[in-house]
Amino acid sequence: MMDHYNLTTDIPEVQQDISYVRYVLVSVFFLPCAIVIFVENTFVLLAYKRDKRIRRNTTNAYILNLAVSDLLVSVVMAIYVPVYLTGTWKFGGASCVVLWVLDYTATDMSVMTIIVISVDRYLMVHNSLRHRSRQSHKKVAIICSILWITCLAAHSTLAFTYSSMTGFMHDENRIAGCELGYGHSPVVLVLMFLVEFLVPAICVFALNLTVYFRLKRRSNMLQTRQSRSHLSTAVPLNDRASQTTSWENDGMRIHGSASGSQHQKAARFLALLLIVFIFCWLPFYINECYAFLYCSGVHNEALTDLVSYIMWINSAINPFLYAFTNVFFKENFKQFLKCK
What pLDDT does residue 330 have?
86
Q: Is residue 14 part of a domain?
A: no
Q: Is residue 156 part of a domain?
A: yes
Q: Is residue 134 part of a domain?
A: yes
Owning domain of residue 248: 30-336
230-264 pLDDT, tens digit each: 665 544 544 443 333 333 444 444 333 344 455 56
Q: Is residue 115 part of a domain?
A: yes
Q: Identify the CA nearest to 36 among candidates 266, 28, 332.
A: 28
Q: How many domains does the chain have?
A: 1
Domain of residue 256, CATH code? 1.20.1070.10
pLDDT of residue 1 exceeding 60, the answer is: no
Q: Give the highest mean pLDDT range of 135-149, 197-211, 299-313.
A: 135-149
Q: Is residue 25 part of a domain?
A: no
Q: Is residue 77 part of a domain?
A: yes
Residue of 38 and 86 predicted with greater confidence: 38
Phi and psi angles of residue 51, each rounded to the nearest 5 degrees, phi first: -115, 115
Q: Is residue 1 part of a domain?
A: no
What is the value of pTM for the model shown? 0.79
What pLDDT does residue 230 have?
64
What pLDDT does residue 120 have?
87
24-33 pLDDT, tens digit each: 778 888 888 9
H/E/C letters for each residue in 268-336? Answer: HHHHHHHHHHHHHHHHHHHHHHHHHHHCCCCCCHHHHHHHHHHHHHHHHHHHHHHHCCCHHHHHHHHHH
